[in-house]
Structure 1
Amino acid sequence: MKRTSKDQRYTAISFFAGCGGLDLGFLGGFDYRGEVVPRSSIDVIQAYDFNEKAVQTYRANISDDVAVLDLGSAQVKDMPVADILIGGFPCQEFSVCGPRKGLESERGKLYKAMVRYARAHKPKIVVGENVANLLYINGGWDFKVIKKEFSRAGYVCHEWAVNAADYGVPQHRQRVFVVFVRKDLPGAPTCPQPNFIGSWRSTEWAIGDLLSVTDESVPNQSQYFKAAVASGGHGQGDEITRRDGPSYAIRANAKSRIQFHYELPRRLTVRECARIQTFPDGFAFPFAATESIRQIGNAVPPLLANIVGGAIIDYLNAVKVGVSHGRA
């Protein structure tokens, strides 16, 4: 569906916002590698995260409408009401590379904050992002519990399993977006069609122009971890990133899990990791490499988030048209 400047605007609340990758994507209004990503019709009116440094990065790059908050114990009734709730709820407990305790851990239960907000304020759509293994851990039991709780709150679940490389992100990053639609609304958003299968963007495409940049003329390009050689990491870091294909997934586990440059005898810089995650060069990370890499690795690639946000806008616009014609 073609979106226009006359589209109705929608408000969003962001949980587990981190440095703002998901939010930036839903907002739009940035440039990435010569591609202009237009401003969307979504306004993020408030964001929350527990990490004070991530909030500082968000505030410096996106908006002052962000607060440090422990969402595990937060009172949602006093939060603003919005059309959309978004959040990349913590994934470590569901990841094949993490402790895999799932819903048995306190961190694994943090999705409940999104359930509480949905129950209290009834947004039209809830969009959660997580690792692909969320659907399968513990034989799928954890995800069945999550779906049941959202169902009791009044929502129908739709799962979009994606590889970010298929959508123009220069890295293999398997993720799932869980889209919960309020039960009184007709239909559901359509998962965006991948348009880069067979023509993935490469690591060199993303960072090749930075080969000779060693200073801060490009923000964060002088920051990287010192290490002598790359050892085998079996796809999880500590190895040389491919030049002619998408990068391995950029991870939040700093020093021991940062890929080496495909040509230079060093690890990837903070800016190179940000490029591979599709952050624009104007999005600066104000902390030392360890914290910045953690924030970048935890983020949703803004370019992918923008495509998902566009699908949500298309759906809400269609629902609006349906209502005006008495079909909903």
Structure 2
Amino acid sequence: MTKKPLRVASLFCGAGGLDLGFKKAGFEIVWANDNDSDAVETYIKNIGDHCVLGDIEKLDIKELPKVDGIIGGFPCQGFSVANTQRTVDDSRNTLYKSFVKAVKLGQPKFFLAENVKGILSLGGGAVFNYIIKDFEKAGYICTYALVNAADYGVPQSRQRVLILGIRKDLAPKKISWPPKPTHEGRQISVGSALAAVPDPDKPHKLKNHVYSQFKLKFNGYISNRRVDPNKPSPTITARGDHKGGAMIIHHPSNTRRMTCREVAIVQGFPINFEFTGSMTSVYKQIGNAVPPPLAFAAAKQILENLS
């Protein structure tokens, strides 16, 4: 008898990087939500029409389908170390409460929450402790780890916090977390990852292969650093300005900025994954995403814990 796949709901799903990894690991994504219309359109085009557009705080969480797991990366701008204006009372920091509410009401077997490194230090660590306690009060044994996506086959140095919660009645005596790195000591360089990508200024057939014309600078800031082609790429961010590309990092040739397609490759998206919206919107969707290879590793480790 074939075992049914575990059903998952995805909150703050964006373009679907986290969902892609879970699908590849054998999970069934039955419901997803985001408030970015372009991201939802991208999601539906590539993953499925179960994605709902809307503000999670205005949706009736009681109407979520019954699932085995809830996953998501709640908005991180208020937590990010890249945000120099971050404060404990940033309104975006409270969106995790919608996540907690969904977990508390639905009582799935597990949840996985992804966020930026800055969440650990905000308020001297007090904010993160509140978040963990809220999930524990909902009935879960929680553990977390700071991981680097480059250790899981992503050609990018990207540190993220992965919080895993398993319902108390199902939790093993010792939760195995984080996922075991697959590329530790043999990380993929950005130069090799993009070596076969055609020149965007010459005829090609790739979707989203356009790039910001924002002038190159070499002043050491996150989007203006010289990129070493022999190392993983610096962190891909979602930040930018009205011109669309101030925060887009250099191509490893250091002669132009990366195209949307190249940034997607560096994030671990499949070459045929097509994004919708303006160039600015596409850069943002990709920068906000969880790298699918990291999501896949996390999903496999969750299965191991539940078995």
2:287 aligned with 1:297: yes
Alignment partner, residue 34 of structure 1:
none
SS of 1:25 mapped into structure 2: helix
Alignment partner, residue 231 of structure 2:
245
Alignment partner, residue 201 of structure 1:
188
Deviations along 1:260-289, one digit per CA (max 9) or x if unpaired, are 122262110000000000100110112221
Alignment partner, residue 58 of structure 1:
43
SS of 1:210 mapped into structure 2: coil
Alignment partner, residue 18 of structure 1:
14
Please say if residues 45 and 65 of structure 1, whose CA atoms lie closer than 8 Å, have aligned partners that are also in contact.
yes
Distance (Å, rounded) in 1 between the aligned partners of 2:228 and 2:121: 29
2:208 aligned with 1:220: yes
Please say if residues 152 and 182 of structure 2, whose CA atoms lie closer than 8 Å, have aligned partners that are also in contact.
yes
SS of 1:224 mapped into structure 2: coil
Ranges in structure 2 where 5+ consecutive residues have no aligned partner: none
For the structure 1 residues 61 and 215, does the alpha-carbon distance in structure 2 shift closer, same or farther, using more than 3 Å as the test?
farther
Distance (Å, rounded) in 2 between the aligned partners of 1:263 and 1:186: 48
Aligned pairs for 1:1-328 within 5 A: 6-28=2-24, 40-99=25-84, 101-187=86-172, 188-213=175-200, 214-221=202-209, 223-234=210-221, 236-254=222-240, 255-263=245-253, 265-316=255-306, 318=307
Per the TM alignment, residue 6 of structure 1 is displaced from its structure 2 partner at its CA by 4.7
Query: What letter matches 1:27 in structure 2?
Result: K
Deviations along 1:150-189, one digit per CA (max 9) or x if unpaired, are 1111112100210111111100000010011111123224
Ranges in structure 1 where 5+ consecutive residues have no aligned partner: 29-39, 319-328
Please say if residues 77 and 83 of structure 2, whose CA atoms lie closer than 8 Å, have aligned partners that are also in contact.
yes
Alignment partner, residue 323 of structure 1:
none
SS of 1:12 mapped into structure 2: strand
SS of 1:209 mapped into structure 2: coil
Please say if residues 141 and 171 of structure 2, whose CA atoms lie closer than 8 Å, have aligned partners that are also in contact.
no
Query: What letter matches 1:256 in structure 2?
Result: A
Aligned residues: 300
Distance (Å, rounded) in 1 between the aligned partners of 2:59 and 2:232: 39
Please say if residues 102 and 142 of structure 1, whose CA atoms lie closer than 8 Å, have aligned partners that are also in contact.
no
Distance (Å, rounded) in 1 between the aligned partners of 2:57 and 2:204: 38
Distance (Å, rounded) in 1 between the aligned partners of 2:256 and 2:237: 17
Deviations along 1:74-126, one digit per CA (max 9) or x if unpaired, are 22111111000000101111111115545512211001111111111100101
Distance (Å, rounded) in 2 between the aligned partners of 1:297 and 1:113: 22
Q: Identity rate of aligned residues, in percent?
A: 37
RMSD, matched Cα: 1.6
Alignment partner, residue 36 of structure 1:
none
Per the TM alignment, residue 313 of structure 1 is displaced from its structure 2 partner at its CA by 1.5
Please say if residues 92 and 100 of structure 1, whose CA atoms lie closer than 8 Å, have aligned partners that are also in contact.
no
Per the TM alignment, residue 228 of structure 1 is displaced from its structure 2 partner at its CA by 3.5
Distance (Å, rounded) in 2 between the aligned partners of 1:134 and 1:153: 20
Per the TM alignment, residue 229 of structure 1 is displaced from its structure 2 partner at its CA by 2.7
SS of 1:257 mapped into structure 2: coil
Please say if residues 11 and 83 of structure 1, whose CA atoms lie closer than 8 Å, have aligned partners that are also in contact.
yes
Distance (Å, rounded) in 1 between the aligned partners of 2:144 and 2:115: 11
TM-score, normalising length from structure 2? 0.93
Alignment partner, residue 322 of structure 1:
none
Please say if residues 145 and 177 of structure 2, whose CA atoms lie closer than 8 Å, have aligned partners that are also in contact.
no
Query: What letter matches 1:262 in structure 2?
Result: P
Please say if residues 190 and 311 of structure 1, whose CA atoms lie closer than 8 Å, have aligned partners that are also in contact.
yes
For the structure 1 residues 49 and 102, does the alpha-carbon distance in structure 2 shift closer, same or farther, using more than 3 Å as the test?
farther
Please say if residues 165 and 200 of structure 1, whose CA atoms lie closer than 8 Å, have aligned partners that are also in contact.
yes
TM-score, normalising length from structure 1? 0.87
Deviations along 1:296-326, one digit per CA (max 9) or x if unpaired, are 000000111111011112222x1xxxxxxxx
